[in-house]
Structure 1
Amino acid sequence: MLKVRTDHKSLNGLEKAAVILLSLGEERGARLMERLEDDEIREVSYAMASLGTVSGKVVERLIRDFTERFAGTGELAGTFDTTERFLSKFLTGDRVQEIMADVRGPAGRTMWEKMSNVNEQVLATYLRNEHPQTIAVVLTKVRPEHAAKVLGLLPPNLIQMVVSRIIKMEAVPRDVLEDVEKTLRSEFMANYVRTLGHDSHAIMAEILNRTDKGLFDQIMEPLERRLPESAQRIKQLMFTFEDLASLDPQAIQIIIRNCDSDQLAYALKGLEETLQDRFLANMSERARNLVREEMEMLGAVRARDVEEARLGILRVAKQLADDGTITITRNGDAAAMLVY
């Protein structure tokens, strides 16, 4: 007869794992155990069968140690690479690539939101080789302003065929729409994301977007002398405070609501009048008057304070984009999105 186990130190690793699995109950423990490899299942099963009786105090101690170990693991690195490696443990390579293409972007919950954020020139280049009916379906599903840009980049004869099909188009059957989405995801979006992911200039632009002016100048001035073409490419990909004025009015209003009036006053101080008016026009009359009064009261301000305020608002915009509240594309367009 096996004796009662009263000392947790007497248990080896496999036996501790067996205790934890048994303490979860048959249903939950089985769901966890079935994820183990065959040889691991055999080893844990042997330990479980040989375990005997374990005292309640030992079970409590092991569960406490187990939870404390997880609570004390420190920081976890959640990145595209770690996610891809995690998925590859239990999914096929094709399925992993399909999911990662959706995860990596462009930003958007649905395929059509993502397509609305693809550079219009890139999308037009791809679509010009598709059947006019397919192009028509795609253009009716993306945002109208984006569809207009893409349509204008197609060959003239193709534009007429696409317009004709859009006018005559009836409700698209669900199975047809699903086929188009599947093709776009597998043939276009995966390649687009893969190319975008290896764009070192885009990566550098994202990094510089998060630096202050001092560090930006420290990096860019030597770069403009050594690699002028690369410097120009990075600047084109960067999203600046001035670019915020070109966003959709609803997006600007959302950004403004998430900023303090004094921060806005500093940021708008010295800004070109047309850009300044673009921000003010998207405020309520009360808020607009308040910001104008604060701007007048500020008088002369340090360039550093203005830069810090603008950088802070940019961070707010980027956070809103990361949260899915607004969408910002590389060419500076944006659209407000509802969060469910």
Structure 2
Amino acid sequence: MSEEVAKRPKLSKLDKAAIFLLSLGESDAAAILKHMGPKEVQRVGSAMAGLRTVHREQVQQVMGDFIDTVGDQTGLGVGADGYIRTMLTQALGEDKANSLVDRILLGGSTSGLDSLKWMEPRAVADVIRFEHPQIQAIVVAYLDPDMAAEVITYFDHKVRLDVLLRVAALNTVQPSALKELNEILEKQFAGNSNTTRANMGGIKRTADIMNYLESSTESQLIEAIRDMDEDLSSKIEDLMFVFDNLAEVDDRGIQALLREISSDVLIIALKGADEAIKDKIFKNMSKRASELLQDDLEAKGPVRISEVEAAQKEILTIARRMADAGEIVLGGKGGEEMI
């Protein structure tokens, strides 16, 4: 291996996916992308757009890795259904994978609920604004938590509170209810009468949505829920993961997280952070990098609280994405117990 090749940064999984799709050609890449969800398309698309120079050795490496992976897991055309199901589950998680498998393997169409995930949050809010509150809750529970949080910001406080309380009370939704909702959305419902109950909502889902709200909105809603049901508010808060909980993430996880965060965002986020968080960050950086960061923090002038909260939310969003991908384990209130 030449010195120049050795110095090239190691390709991430996202970079490999981007290089692979660019190597396939437009029509084949499009055929793959249409089976991905909105977030996956956005992430891969951004990675593709960000590629500037791709060397021949890198393309060969990506293609070689792909062939090795396929060769190890399945023969082409043999056991493909099981391979697709396992691959999607590993890539997207069980909930997202289940919503795609039947459409891919059985040729089903996209349901109205799935179509909402591709819309702008404001547009989704407009679609459900005059629907029954229970329908609003089902839609909000079905969306990814960050998108759901943005959707409910377009409602007034009373509606937000009602919707979140209904989401917390949801456990399963009958197929007939989902079918009726899809008819309301004027989309074909995939699966019809064979569809099983859909698990959605619940206290954990409510906590996930709350995590993505602006701090002032989050505090206001928690206080309102506490006034109505103190036990429920405690359960929601116990499942929420906040910036201070990063102090409980292990060192390896913090180091992985720091590689994904820009210095500018980190500096602003730490302006309003506890000493425990700062110490955790400093000790997981090289001595030189830590000294530079501390100097930058001292030199940084006053920062609006809203800017600090926005920077911390951005870091938490990255942390949750990495946790969903299995790259780090979150500790604290929102963390899953280890055995």
With the length of structure 2 as denominator, give the TM-score of the two structures.
0.41
Compare CA radii of gyration and give the structure with the larger one.
Answer: 1
With the length of structure 1 as denominator, give the TM-score of the two structures.
0.41
